[in-house]
Amino acid sequence: MREAEREVFEIENKVLLGYTGDEPFVDIPAGVEVIGEGAFRDCRSLREVTMPNGLRKIMNEAFQWCANLKKVTAPDSVIYVGRDVFSGTPYYKYYSENETEWTEDFLFLGKCLIKARRNIRSAAVPDGTKMIASDAFAERVLLKELTLSDSISYIGWRAFEACTGLTAIHIPAGVRTLGWHCFNKCSRLYEVTFAEGVEAIENGAFSGCRSIHRITFPASLKKLNGWMFFGCSNLEEVKFKGKISEIGDWAFSGCSNISHADLPDSVKYIGVDAFYECINIDIMLPRSLVRIERRAFSGDRNIKKAELTSALEFLGEGAFSGCFGIEKLTVPGTMRTVSDSAFANCRSMDLLDLHEGIAEIKDSAFADCRSLTELTVPEGVGSIGDEAFRGCRSLKHVSLPDTVTELGERAFAFCPSLETISMPRDIGEIGKGLFDGCERLADADGFMIVGKVCYGYQGSSAEVKVPEGTESIASGAFREKPQLRKVSLPDSVAHVGNHAFVGCTGLLEIMMSESVRTLGPEPFEGCSSLMTVVSPGIAPEKWKSEKDRITAALGFCSHEEKYKGETAAAYAGYTEQTKTGILEEAIAGELSASASYFTRHGLIAEDDYFTVLELAQQKKAMEIVALLLEYRNDSLTESDVFDRYSLDQ
């Protein structure tokens, strides 16, 4: 190689990586075996290129956008031509579009068929051909007959895409790989047969082939990649002679007529939407399955059995949603998590067996399973998500283990047949509307009480009294009930759970007895109208926020008689210490009962009297104004009042 050539060719380990020259006629140096990806890309001065003997491969986009390249000479040693190698060149355009001047059927580079004549009707690929390159027959719409040589080992990307006249194809034994979308949109392709030998079929190879009815894959195939038969609406039957390990994403999605897919027990993975909306399929799941991705069988309404074994470790969201035909289901504990909407709307499911080992049932996992009558959640489950069993209309009996610490919003809502449910002893969090629409679970007044715990309220009254005998208010029991104005708890209640009244925007007053000693976190969060909380069993220092402390102090002021001993003394001390702020809140809320505490105990100083009176007058809190005037008459001397004014000034 001359010194000048070394400067324009970048060669490493017999691979030509790049060319920086501007010569129109280029001879690639001897010894190069591979032309690397994009090596001559956008070389606009190039008109002719001669490749050396011994060259074996031309990689993707090697001469792409060489806008003046018209002639290519290659040796017989070339056995591989990558994708879009000559796209954007007049050389490739001539052979792609010319129907009159080019009379030969095929264009070869070495042993690679890189282009077929545009108006070709019948093609017999010659013996000795090693590869059909990407796009070689793409959009040859007149092609009706095709014979492939046994010598072919690789069929490239989009090689026969949109050959809409092609009706049958036999893949010979020498072919090892079918490239991406190689028969995509061959809408009249009816018959596809394989000799043993094919090892890999890349994504979308037969997608859009609407006329295929049946196909049998050879034993040599080890994996079925994604989008394989996407949109093949007339495909009815698929068989596998050998052991494949994987069904890729969207492999059969939209194959609405497929009724039978004989999956071997070697399959371990089924991808996203693999059989989505295959509405006629009834399939036997392989016992070897380890992972089923989201919506894999969603909408497959004809599936009767979904036998999940202990080999299964993961089930994606919505995997069997809308499978109306499933009647019995066993969920192995190896899964750990039942994902979102995994079995939602399985309308015929009347038996559900959940095994120990499951730790979490996520949102809508079994929503709208209308035939399910009984549910036993196994030990170890810690959380049940939002709407997990919503709309299970026939569900009558539910048993939850003590390990459950979290129940999501509307987890059992609209289960109108629900009569009994055994609840865990200690639930940290309960979402709103847990039992909304469960009429049989509520008492005559609308309270959902199970095992002396109030879990919800379905009534419409503004003022409610929780029934005697109730011992606890569960987390979220009155969550987001904006119609409530006043809630009274009986002496039997000892605990109010987390967020028990959260979001009750209209709630003004809560009455608790001395027996309530503990409160969960933020029980009144979002109760923007709440003015008084009567809590004789909870000292002021136990309230976490100053706002809640003042609200509790206002409750003390209005119902002082309910407070005893140390708690009464603590509130009295806090009220005197914070009297200005508490009195202002009482006036702002027109709480005359709370304001009367300050007049009864003489806590309004002489210097503050007229400021307080003016504030009450501005608020037009006339009952409080009357209290203050009476307080002046009874507790302040005449001179005390009029000393504020001097006639000498």
Angle ∠(123,223,115) on CA atoms, nearest 5 = 25
499 neighbors 474 (Cβ within 8 angstroms): no
Residue with tokens 């059927």: 105
Strand partners, 81: 58
- pLDDT > 70: percent of the chain: 97
**Domain limits at 373?**
325-441
pLDDT digits (tens, 9 = 90+) for 118-173: 999 999 999 999 999 999 999 999 999 999 999 999 999 999 999 999 999 999 99
Residue 471 lies in a domain: no
**Total count of domains within the chain:** 3
- Last residue of some domain: 441, 471, 489? 441
Residue 146 lies in a domain: no
CATH number at residue 25: 3.80.10.10
Residue 486 lies in a domain: no
Distance CA 547, CA 318 (A): 44
Consecutive sets of 10 residues in the chain, 649 residues long: mean pLDDT of each?
Answer: 66 96 96 98 97 98 97 97 97 90 93 96 97 97 97 97 97 97 97 96 96 96 95 95 95 94 94 96 93 96 91 96 95 95 97 96 98 97 97 97 94 95 85 87 91 90 96 89 96 92 95 92 91 95 91 96 95 94 94 94 90 92 92 70 44
Residue 104 lies in a domain: no
HEC profile of 369-384: CCCCCEEECCCCCCEE
- My answer on whether 330 and 434 are in the same domain is yes
Q: How many CB atoms lie within 10 A of CB 578?
A: 16
Q: What's the mean per-residue pLDDT of the chain?
A: 93
- Last residue of some domain: 81, 102, 118? 81
pLDDT digits (tens, 9 = 90+) for 513-550: 999 998 888 889 999 999 999 999 999 999 988 999 99
Residue 387 lies in a domain: yes
User: Which of 384, 316, 381, 396 has the alpha carbon at shortest distance from 350?
Assistant: 396
Q: How many CB atoms lie within 10 A of CB 569?
A: 12
473: which 2 tokens? 């208010």
Strand partners, 399: 376, 422
pLDDT, position 6: 58
- Last residue of some domain: 409, 441, 473? 441
pLDDT digits (tens, 9 = 90+) for 18-70: 999 999 999 999 999 999 999 999 999 999 999 999 999 999 999 999 999 99
Secondary structure E strands in 418-496: 420-422, 429-430, 447-450, 453-457, 463-465, 472-473, 486-488, 495-496
pLDDT, position 3: 40
pLDDT, position 1: 42
- My answer on whether 537 and 436 are in the same domain is no
Residue 510 lies in a domain: no
Residue 237 lies in a domain: no
Distance CA 494, CA 517 (A): 6
| pTM for this predicted structure | 0.81
179 secondary structure, DSSP code: P
pLDDT, position 307: 87
User: Which of 360, 226, 201 has the alpha carbon at shortest distance from 293?
Assistant: 226
